[in-house]
Amino acid sequence: MLRVPDVLNTMSSVSRHERGRMQIQPVDITGLISSILGISIVLIPVIGLTARFALNPTVEALAKLFEKRGADETMRVIERRIELQEQEIAMLRATVDSLAQGRDFERQLASGPTAAARPHEPAAHDPAATTDD
């Protein structure tokens, strides 16, 4: 049996420098890799399923957000296109009206002066036109 002074003597025989160092043991690389791969066979599907169920609400929320944003943007584009088409229709109506007025004017010029356009002159043989009161 060792007595306390013997233990102290044994510890003092190891130098201070050697006591502070860590002993490095040899590593079996093949065993380490096979252990990691064996654990991965189980952990990868577990991590995948966990991520699927944990991230599913977040992904659905993002999908709805982008869908709504896209629908809003589409509505704005459609409204803008309709406004531009309405403006173009109004311009076309104005052009057609202008062309119709021009055609009517040219038709009136070609037909000559009409009875409505001539000043009213009383005829000599019209008894109502001449009154001697």
Q: Is residue 21 one of the residues assigned to a domain?
A: no
Q: Is residue 94 one of the residues assigned to a domain?
A: yes
For the chain, how many structural domains are there in total?
A: 1
Q: What share of the chain is helix, strand, coil (3-state, %, to 5)?
A: 75, 0, 25
On the question of pLDDT at 21 being above 80, the answer is no
pTM score: 0.37
Report the pLDDT value the prediction gives residue 19, as an integer from 0 to 100. 61
Comparison of pLDDT for 31 and 6, the residue scoring more: 31
Residue with tokens 């002993």: 23
How many helices (H) and strands (E) in the chain?
3, 0
Provide the residue range defining the domain that includes 92.
28-110
26 pLDDT tier (thresholds 50, 70, 90): confident
Q: Is residue 100 one of the residues assigned to a domain?
A: yes
Q: Is residue 43 one of the residues assigned to a domain?
A: yes
Q: Is residue 70 one of the residues assigned to a domain?
A: yes
Give whole-number Cα distances, 3 to 6, 7, 66, 100, in Å: 5, 7, 78, 128
Q: Is residue 19 one of the residues assigned to a domain?
A: no
Report the pLDDT value the prediction gives residue 68, as an integer from 0 to 100. 83
- Closest CA relative to residue 98, chosen from 106, 86, 108: 106
Q: Is residue 66 one of the residues assigned to a domain?
A: yes
Please give the Cα distance from 123 to 133 (Å, whole number).
18
Q: What is the pLDDT of residues 121-133, one digit of tens each?
A: 555 555 555 555 4
